[in-house]
Amino acid sequence: MNNYELTVLVDPKLDDKAREELNEDLKGYIGTSGTVENNVDWGRKQLAYAIKKNVAGQYLHLKLKSSEADFVKKLTTKLRVEKKLLRYLIVRSAA
């Protein structure tokens, strides 16, 4: 079983309800091929430079586990088409 960490930068213009729906949608999608071990809202932070005309963003951090070989590829495909995300980063963690 492989461990991953996913950090997403969400559009700061989203209200709390829309952000929570996005979070539940991500957890639901990840649940089809893996598990979410931890889910932390890092809050709103200023960006070093503007991304899509936004100078701040809402960060979400998830720790994931999956045994599927193409898990990252599937997740990347899903994240790439999500309009509410400004950026995302997936890294494989040791534990």
Does residue 23 sit within a domain?
yes
Q: 25 is written with which tokens?
A: 């949608």
Structure confidence at residue 57 (pLDDT): 94
CA gap 49, 32 in Å, rounded: 35
**95: pLDDT confidence band, cut at 50, 70 and 90?**
low
Considering the domain boundaries, does residue 95 fall inside one? no
Which residues partner with 35 through β-bridges?
Answer: 65
- Strand, coil or helix: what is 24? helix
* Domain with 29 in it: 2-84+86-90
pLDDT value of residue 33: 86
CATH code: domain of residue 58: 3.30.70.60
| Maximum Cα interatomic distance, the chain, rounded to a whole number of Å | 39
CB neighbourhood size of 92 (10 A): 10
Kindly report, residue by residue over 11-65, the tens digit of the pLDDT: 999 998 999 999 999 998 988 888 999 989 998 999 999 999 999 999 999 999 9
- The confidence score (pLDDT) of residue 44 equals 92
CA distance 95 to 20: 27
